Amino acid sequence: MHAFGARFLLRAGWISLLVPLLVAAAEPAPRGFRVWSSDWPKEKKLEAANVAVIGGMAVYGLLFWGYGGHTFQVVNERWFQRDSIHGGADKLGHAFSTYVAAMSYGAVYENWGYDRREASLYGALSGLATFCMIEFGDAFSRHGFSFQDLTADAAGALWGYLRRECPALRSLVDYRVSYWPSWGTWRGYTSDCISDYSGFKYLLAFKGSGIKALSSTWLRYAEFHLGYYTRGYENQDWCHYGEPHRKAYVGIAWNLSDLLKQRNWRQAGTFLEYYQLPFTYLHQGFDLDR
């Protein structure tokens, strides 16, 4: 296969794995929906789901992430300092991943019959448990155990819990990721899109629809963004982005999620609560290192 085609399929495959997680975080499904056809009680389903996901991740880590190949070690990765490993972008990635997991687990548990509060709590705990397992596995690999990563995971799980429990918060602000493959990824120097931090941006989108004074005006469809990203930290792209540097930015955009939901495209609208399409916003960046 042509190299460009292979890279495109790999990226498309990564996105296709992300979409079901985001769709699962939608509003509870219609009555009669079942994640599987088993007559198990909801408690047994919860246990089985956690064993399957966490156990599956552990097996994957043993096979592909080098779990068990190193004695237990703790590393200090620091936070958002310029000389930290990814300038802090990886910490926002950890928080976002755990947040999506907590929302997804919570939606599934509610569909299984748990009330909203129980589903929110158990969803957050399941999301955190999944990423705690990853951190524990990392401790026995070349990566090492990172308290910073674990703290970011806990923050993401808490954010997921608060989002499900506080409708006003969910209507006001989204935590999103935007991704466009970095220079090195496009050229095939790496196929690890999940760790392609030079392609990610992380942002909070404050929505006019969540502000009562704006909810009946056209400004309900407007958004204000606060974002952060880093460039040049990955080995494959330093020659393109220059010295490692961190950027913060502010931006404005239309709330595409609400627009789609109003037209009954609920799954697409839910997806855009989590993912900011590239080139759909105006922004001004501020280099924190130059």
Kindly report, residue by residue over 163-177, the tens digit of the pLDDT.
999 999 999 999 999
Mean pLDDT of 268-282: 93
Of 160, 247, 172, 168, the closest CA to residue 209 belongs to 172
Same domain, 45 and 160: yes
Q: Tell me how crowded residue 135 is: count the other CB atoms within 10 A of its CB.
A: 17
How much is the pLDDT for 26? 44
Residue type, 62: L
Confidence grade of residue 33 (pLDDT, cut at 50, 70, 90): very low
Residue range 72-117, pLDDT digits in tens = 899 888 899 998 888 999 999 999 999 999 999 999 999 999 999 9
Confidence grade of residue 192 (pLDDT, cut at 50, 70, 90): low
Supply the range of the domain harboring residue 225: 172-290
How much is the pLDDT for 107? 93
> What is the C-alpha R_g of the chain?
20
Same domain, 159 and 268: no
- Which ranges constitute the DSSP H helices of 114-264? 116-139, 147-165, 167-172, 183-186, 238-241, 256-262
How much is the pLDDT for 144? 87
Please check whether residue 180 lies inside any domain of the structure: yes
Instruction: Please determine, for residue 129, whether its predicted confidence score (pLDDT) is greater than 90.
Output: yes
Same domain, 136 and 226: no
How much is the pLDDT for 16? 37
Apex 211 CA angle, 208 and 213, nearest 5: 105
Same domain, 130 and 216: no
Residue range 130-167, pLDDT digits in tens = 999 988 888 898 888 889 999 999 999 999 999 999 99
Please count the structural domains in the chain.
2
Helix (H) / strand (E) containing 173: strand 173-179
How much is the pLDDT for 39? 76
Token readout for 121 is 């709590």
DSSP 41: -
Instruction: Please determine, for residue 34, whether its predicted confidence score (pLDDT) is greater than 70.
Output: no
How much is the pLDDT for 159? 97
More confident residue, 253 or 33: 253
Same domain, 84 and 183: no
Domain boundary pick from 165, 191, 209: 165
How much is the pLDDT for 208? 92
Distance in angstroms between the alpha carbons of the first and the last residue of the chain: 42
Is 67 within 8 Å of 140 (Cβ atoms)? Answer: yes
Same domain, 215 and 245: yes
Same domain, 177 and 254: yes
Same domain, 64 and 90: yes
